[in-house]
């Protein structure tokens, strides 16, 4: 730093680690006419210490793409430029590709990643011999047992399963054996099974995915709103004496 004409910052901001990385001690070591370039994070620079340098007659420029405080803002040797890192052509193209890939992954496999309000959830790819069921439910004791008991009581084998949660929301991805017919189980259709599953108190939505990720077909989406099922399976009424009839 002591022999540099330009000092550039290339570090992440980590509280209590890189906060004011460029502080009073380091600023005093800089050449009187050295310039500081900060395109990393504004909090890396101690603005009070930098302003004190300029007040004492220090030269050089401070160039940054982050907002600065009222002491630095009026200075002619402080140059602030727009922070457009996410608005470049390359960044927008990459963001669009990532969004499309993430959406496709969810539709094809039920995988959730980079979500704001859902837990990250990944279950290994399934084969043609299974059918994937995705369930969104309230995160409370006993919910997972109720969900899995629907398949157990129906005589349907669960091949693999994952349960994740974030706050008051839980998400389940369940792989069950694909059935060639309904003769050996206690339901006469997937819609009937989905209706019972979605009707459970605390269930928010259910979704079926058939086939491999590359050939996924969506067997149905249903939601439970105020105790009533809407979507696939909603033609079944809870007054039916038995779904197995």
- Least confident residue range of 28-32, 48-52, 96-100, 237-241: 237-241
Q: The whole model's pTM is what?
A: 0.61
pLDDT for res 216 = 53
Q: How far apart, in whole angstroms, are the C-alpha atoms of residue 192 and residue 156? A: 14
Return the percentage of the chain with pLDDT > 90, whole number.
60
79, 62 contact by CB (below 8 A): yes
Using one digit for the tens of pLDDT, what is the confidence trace for 118-145?
Answer: 999 998 877 777 888 999 999 999 999 9
135, 206 contact by CB (below 8 A): yes
Please report the sign of the dihedral spanned by the C-alpha atoms of residue 201, residue 203, residue 207, residue 208: negative
pLDDT for res 129 = 78
Q: Quickly state the pLDDT bin for 237 (edges 50, 70, 90).
A: very low
Using one digit for the tens of pLDDT, what is the confidence trace for 203-236?
Answer: 999 998 876 555 555 567 889 998 888 887 555 4
Using one digit for the tens of pLDDT, what is the confidence trace for 6-33?
Answer: 999 999 999 899 999 999 999 999 999 9
Return the H-helix or E-strand segment holding 225.
strand 217-225
Q: How far apart, in whole angstroms, are the C-alpha atoms of residue 121 and residue 138? A: 16
């Amino acid at each position: 730093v002591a022999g540099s004409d330009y000092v550039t910052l290339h570090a992440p901001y980590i509280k209590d680690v890189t906060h004011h990385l460029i502080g009073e001690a380091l600023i005093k070591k800089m050449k009187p006419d050295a310039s500081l370039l900060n395109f990393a994070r504004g909090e890396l620079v101690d603005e009070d210490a930098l302003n004190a340098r300029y007040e004492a007659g220090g030269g050089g420029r401070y160039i940054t793409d982050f907002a600065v405080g009222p002491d630095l803002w009026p200075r002619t040797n402080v140059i602030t430029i727009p922070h457009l890192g996410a608005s470049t052509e390359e960044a927008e193209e990459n963001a669009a590709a990532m969004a499309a890939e993430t959406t496709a992954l969810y539709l094809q496999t039920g995988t959730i990643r980079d979500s704001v309000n859902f837990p990250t959830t990944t279950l290994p790819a399934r084969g043609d011999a299974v059918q994937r069921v995705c369930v969104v439910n309230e995160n409370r004791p006993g919910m997972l047992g109720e969900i899995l008991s629907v398949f157990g009581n129906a005589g349907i084998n669960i091949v693999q399963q994952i349960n994740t949660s974030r706050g008051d929301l839980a998400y389940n991805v369940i792989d069950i054996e694909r059935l060639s017919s309904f003769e050996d189980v206690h339901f006469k259709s997937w819609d009937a099974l989905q209706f019972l599953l979605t009707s459970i108190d605390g269930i928010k939505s259910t979704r079926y995915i058939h086939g491999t990720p590359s050939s996924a077909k969506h067997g149905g989406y249903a939601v439970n709103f105020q105790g009533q099922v809407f979507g696939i399976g909603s033609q079944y009424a809870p007054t039916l004496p038995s779904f197995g009839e």
